[in-house]
Amino acid sequence: MADGAADTRSLPGDDVLHAALEHAVAEVFSTMVGKFESLAVDAAVAAALPARGLSHVHFDREAVVEYRGVLEGHVTIRCNADGALDIARGLLMLDAGDTSLSIEEINDALKECANMVTGHVKTRVLDPLGGCQLSVPFVNSVATSAAAARDRMLLYKLQQGLISVEIWRRETAASAA
Amino acid sequence: MNKVLIVDDSATMRKIITRVLRQAEIPCNTVLEAGNGVEGLAKLASDPDIDLILSDINMPEMNGVDFVKAVRTAHAKEKLPMIMVTTEGGEAMMKNALDLGANGYVTKPFTPESIRAALEAYLG
């Protein structure tokens, strides 16, 4: 683009990112994790939890991958202990009752899962904007109730556990323009 | 095929690929592992009988593209197949790896079937 010329490409909005995230989760989980059930999307999430007896569920860890490029932000997968185990067992093709995994192995699997989901969003939505870099995935300890569900949070029931997936976008010069 | 080298910075992904190879009934006796391109080159130097390499692209120290480039200085594409396994589905990255001598690629998430399809031609 010539200096001073306006970039008239339109940047994808939250709806597009959210749809790409939902597609990415479906792709990664159906291919490599196993059973997953979408509980609700958007504003219905919080209302759905008590009815399903899930409002007591607490997430205790999250895996995060940051993306940087024309758009910047991060993808977060939060889960309770059972949800993390479900992801690790699924990826490693272990039986539902397998208890042989260490915390490091479980967290490593969670990071790999976040990496694949974010990579999928990158390929579909972020790369076409003109290049995007992903951070190395990392895991944090958190203490969040599933009842704190908010708009645009995807919530899934796995084999035994529960996870939430979100995509956040930071305001950048390009996105503010 | 006797020996396969898996190069990926994630220990979990190396385990996953090893299990998928078994699930896909890929006939290999030995699976070797390395955490990045530098370690991959060291494995290759110490074990010249490796028949095929499965490599991630996004790795610390030496990424998959530089790894392909380094391997191809000593090992021809026909003699030592290299299949890239990565979330980086971006065309530029893949084209770069293929131009430098990678034989093919598989995008994560993958199934035993997609791994088998990518390796089919090299299962002599």
Each residue's pLDDT tens digit, B6-32: 999 888 899 999 988 888 888 888 999
Q: How far is CA A170 from CA A55, A119, B56, in A?
A: 29, 18, 29
Residue A115's CATH number: 3.40.1550.10
Provide, as residue numbers in chain A, all residues whose Cβ is less than 8 Å from the Cβ of B87: 115-116, 118-120, 122-123, 134
Provide, as residue numbers in chain B, all residues whose Cβ is less than 8 Å from the Cβ of A115: 10, 87
Task: Give yes or no for a contact between B1 and B52, defined as CB atoms under 8 angstroms apart.
Answer: yes
What is d(CA A43, CA A55) in angstroms, rounded to the nearest whole number? 15
User: For the segment A18-28, what is each residue's pLDDT rounded down to a tens digit?
Assistant: 999 999 999 99
Among B23, B90, B110, whose Cβ lies nearest the Cβ of A123? B90
Q: Which residues of chain B have a Cβ shorter than 8 Å from any chain A Cβ? A: 10-13, 15-16, 19-20, 23, 58, 60, 86-90, 107-111
Query: Phi and psi of A30, rounded to 5°?
Result: -70, -30
A165 is a domain residue: yes
Radius of gyration (Cα) for chain B, nearest Å? 13
Q: Break chain B into its structural domains and give their ranges.
A: 3-122
Confidence at residue A1, expressed as pLDDT on a 0 to 100 scale: 41
A140 is a domain residue: yes
Confidence at residue B122, expressed as pLDDT on a 0 to 100 scale: 84
Confidence at residue A143, expressed as pLDDT on a 0 to 100 scale: 75
Provide, as residue numbers in chain A, all residues whose Cβ is less than 8 Å from the Cβ of B111: 31-32
Query: Phi and psi of B87, rounded to 5°?
Result: -80, -15
User: For the segment A102-155, what is each residue's pLDDT rounded down to a tens digit?
Assistant: 999 999 999 999 999 999 999 889 988 887 888 889 999 887 766 555 667 888
- Min distance A14 CA to chain B CA atoms (Å): 22
What's the CA angle centered on A8, arms A6 and A10, to 5 degrees? Answer: 140
Residues shown for chain A: 177
Confidence at residue A102, expressed as pLDDT on a 0 to 100 scale: 92
Work out how many CB contacts closer than 8 A connect A with B.
62
Confidence at residue A62, expressed as pLDDT on a 0 to 100 scale: 94
Crossing angle (nearest 10°) for helices A103-121 and B11-23: 80
Among A93, A108, A119, whose Cβ lies nearest the Cβ of B88? A119
Q: Which residues of chain A have a Cβ shorter than 8 Å from any chain B Cβ? A: 27-28, 31-32, 88, 91-93, 105, 108-109, 111-112, 115-116, 118-120, 122-123, 127, 134, 136
> What's the total number of domains in chain A?
1
Among A88, A93, A111, whose Cβ lies nearest the Cβ of B23? A93
What is d(CA B120, CA B124) in angstroms, rounded to the nearest whole number? 8
Query: Phi and psi of A134, rounded to 5°?
Result: -105, 145
Contacts (Cβ under 8 Å, ≥6 apart) of B1: B26, B27, B28, B51, B52, B119, B122, B123, B124
pLDDT at residue A174 greater than cutoff 80:
no
What is residue A157's DSSP assignment? Answer: E
Confidence at residue A3, expressed as pLDDT on a 0 to 100 scale: 44
- Min distance B61 CA to chain A CA atoms (Å): 13
Domain that holds residue A172: 12-176
What is d(CA A19, CA B27) in angstroms, rounded to the nearest whole number? 40
Confidence at residue B27, expressed as pLDDT on a 0 to 100 scale: 82
A5 is a domain residue: no
User: Two tokens at B5?
Assistant: 């080298």
Tell me: domain B3-122, CATH 3.40.50.2300, correct?
yes
User: For the segment B59-99, what is each residue's pLDDT rounded down to a tens digit?
Assistant: 889 989 999 999 999 999 999 999 998 876 566 777 888 99
Its ipTM equals 0.79
User: For the segment B40-51, what is each residue's pLDDT rounded down to a tens digit?
Assistant: 999 999 998 999
A2 is a domain residue: no
User: Two tokens at A100?
Assistant: 């042989």
Confidence category of residue A4, pLDDT binned at 50, 70, 90: very low
